[in-house]
Chains A and B, each alone.
Chain A
Amino acid sequence: MDSQLLVIILIDGLVYASYLFMVSVGLTVICGVQKILNVTHGALYAFGAYLTATLLIVYFEAGWPQFGAFFVMLVSAIFLGIVLGVIIERGLLKHLYHEDEHIVVLATFAAFLVLEDVLLLIWGTDAYIAAEPLMLLGQTDIAELPFDNYSLSMVLLSAVVCVILWYGLRRTTFGKMLLAVIYDRELSQAMGINVTKVFLLTFIVGSFLGALGGAYQAPAISVQPGIGVEVIVLAFAVVVIGGMGSIPGALIGSLVVGIARAAAVHMEPVLELFVIYMIMAFVLIVRPQGLFAPAKPRKI
């Protein structure tokens, strides 16, 4: 293998990995705290992409300062995280925490179907393209090949999200409360932590991350029906590979999947789609709890 191909695979893999990390980190946060696999996450990604694309089209037509586009993404992700997060958590999940995990997955699958159609009702079946931010950042030549700076900036964004999450979990009071809830829900409740509030806040943060993934991806893709369906199963794969509920797991999982996929695309395109699920199956077989599963406390 020549070195140019290797560089391309690495960079493509890294870009794809950061995209995967952005869509799976919210899923894994919710999974870790609430112990549910949240299918609606795919809908949040789609909503993020659609809302941002529409707003960006309006924004650039109005001719406002170009770099404000990134602010638009952030604002729409926060908006969606709060609105949809509260609706889904308070309206649906709240009633299901005591149910079997399969039932909860099914309920979120149902909510996902509903949200998909709400999406169609609002935005229709047309594709939205808002590539201005992509143009804005230009391109860089690496190994004699042009790469979009925008895609490369996604790596930066994931790194920032990663650091903020680490800081938030390890260094703030809320993070410590969260860890306590993850460790033992009942005991932390007995210690005076408002678990209901922690659950709601976690879900909002997770939803925000999903919407942010979609929002940031919007300029780089054509926003059209079906993107949520595709993303959620990918995010599932990453979360399972990394270990359900583990943020370093999501990071490693995205890197493994991203680079494996890039290698497949450039060397054996036929493998592209199923290499990801091959890894998922392999990890489940060898280490079902995932590569970085959070240690389970032994309870008496």
Chain B
Amino acid sequence: MTKYMDRTTWALTIGLVLLIVVNFFVPEWFRSILLLSLARGSVALGLLVLWRCGLISFGHALFYGFGAYTVALIVKYLGITDAFFTIACGVVVAGGLAWMLGFLLRRYRGIFFALLNLAFSMILYGVLAKLESLGSTDGISLERTTFLWYAPEGAANKFALFIFAAILTWGVALAVHHYLRSTLGYMTTAVRENEIRLEFLGYSAERAIHVKYTISGLVGGFGGAIAAMTIGHVDPDSMAYWPISGDFVFIAILSGTGNVGAPFIGALIYELIRTYAFDQFPEIWQLIMGGTLLLIVMFLPNGLWSLVDRWSKRRTGRDRLEAEREKA
């Protein structure tokens, strides 16, 4: 049992409880920010899984867009607005796509992997922007989300969506966390450090990468589905264009790869900076975002979580010192 109740699990659970409590008190606009942070954080979590094995994707808007559009198209053409059903479809479709592309992408490393992802995401963008039946550049508007037989109106809808999304995100983060602690999960680091040695130990690096890619696609689709329901509208420029993929990498590098909780904290900080910059300095909000990213790249290349790591290392170091002193 102890194996399943480590510190991260506790922290995530406390985070979930906190979010649900906070949900009762926050204003509508802040709830949207929190929801979007959950969505984008999920995609960044997918990037984290890949990053652990040294791979970066410049095209994760592909899965984000796929998840979002799956939800939108189901609402538009099938008329099903049930959140449980649409989100499941979004996740499965995006994950399926990742699984199929994985057969190809698992052979690539470094910049080629990143660029091939970019190419695929731009193909999706081209299809979405050109096809009339997929909404073209105007996109598709979604009807209000329902939850099984419960169909809240107005502000109550976002309220319900938030609790729904928070619980699911908690589940996703936990699942990814426990995956990363499994044998297959620890292989991520092994792939990054020395692929040849891993192969000689009898594991297949390509298969490990394929699994990770599929997971990151599933999680990316989940994020897209949540985003579509939150915004209530999908369009190619805000769901699948290349700067969106850039934003995800931004969040991932801002957060660091230390912990599955990091991308969500990073995404929240990202959304807050963006909202604040957009509100206060609409002329130069991109400049502020770019400047922040530059500062992170230059001075904190391992992300915000490296601060936590540094702090906890110092603490454990001190603990050890004290223990030794006591012994003496």
Contact = CB atoms under 8 A, between A and B. Distances in A.
A130 interface: no
A187 interface: no
Nearest to B285: A117
A281 B101 CA distance: 11
A277 B287 contact: no
B118 interface: yes
Contact of A101 (B110, B118, B126, B242): B110
Contact of A102 (B56, B104, B126): B56
Contact of A113 (B127, B293, B297, B298): B293
A233 B242 contact: yes
B290 A112 contact: yes
Given A277-B119, A277-B122, A99 B301 contact: yes
Contacts of B291: 110, 114
Most chain A beta-carbon contacts within 10 A, residue among B108, B241, B250, B293: B293
Contact of A107 (B110, B112, B241, B297): B297
Contact of B290 (A101, A102, A117, A237): A117
A240 B286 contact: no
A276 B286 CA distance: 28
A202 B250 CA distance: 28
Interface in B89-128: 104, 108, 110-112, 114-116, 118-120, 122-123, 125-127
Given A117-B284, A277-B123, A284-B116, A110 B110 contact: no
A273 B126 contact: yes
B218 to A, nearest CB: 22
A118 B125 CA distance: 27
Max chain B C-beta neighbours (<10 A), residue from A118, A244, A280: A280
B289 A236 contact: no
Interface string A130-174: 000000000000000000000000000000000000000000000
B68 interface: no
Contacts of A96: 297
A117 B286 contact: yes
A121 B284 contact: yes
Most buried by B among A112, A237, A273: A273
A275 B130 CA distance: 12
A37 B129 CA distance: 26
B108 A281 contact: no
Given A233-B122, A274-B127, A110 B284 contact: no
B249 interface: yes
Contact of B119 (A107, A120, A237): A237
A116 B298 contact: no
A147 B136 CA distance: 30
A89 interface: no
B122 A284 contact: no
Contact of B104 (A107, A110, A111, A285): A285
B294 interface: yes
A257 to B, nearest CB: 12
A120 B122 CA distance: 25
A106 B116 contact: no
Interface in A274-297: 274-278, 280-281, 284-285, 288
Contact of A284 (B115, B287, B301): B115
Given A110-B290, A120-B283, A273 B125 contact: yes
A273 B125 CA distance: 8
Contacts of A110: 250, 289-291, 293-294, 297
Given A106-B253, A273-B130, A114 B286 contact: yes
Nearest to A284: B116
Given A95-B298, A114-B287, A274-B130, A106 B249 contact: yes
B213 interface: no
Nearest to A279: B119
B115 A240 contact: yes
A288 B112 contact: yes
Interface string B226-263: 00000000000000011100100110010000000000
Contacts of B58: 105
B112 A236 contact: no
B131 A270 contact: yes
Contacts of B125: 273-274
B210 to A, nearest CB: 16
A113 B123 contact: no
Nearest to B101: A281
A229 interface: yes
Contacts of A275: 126
A117 B281 CA distance: 11
10 contacts: A92-B294, A109-B293, A113-B286, A114-B286, A114-B291, A117-B286, A233-B242, A269-B130, A274-B122, A278-B123
Top 4 A-B residue pairs of the complex, sorted by shortest distance between their CB atoms? A274-B126, A113-B290, A273-B126, A110-B293
Given A95-B298, A274-B122, 4 more contacts: A105-B58, A106-B297, A113-B289, A284-B119
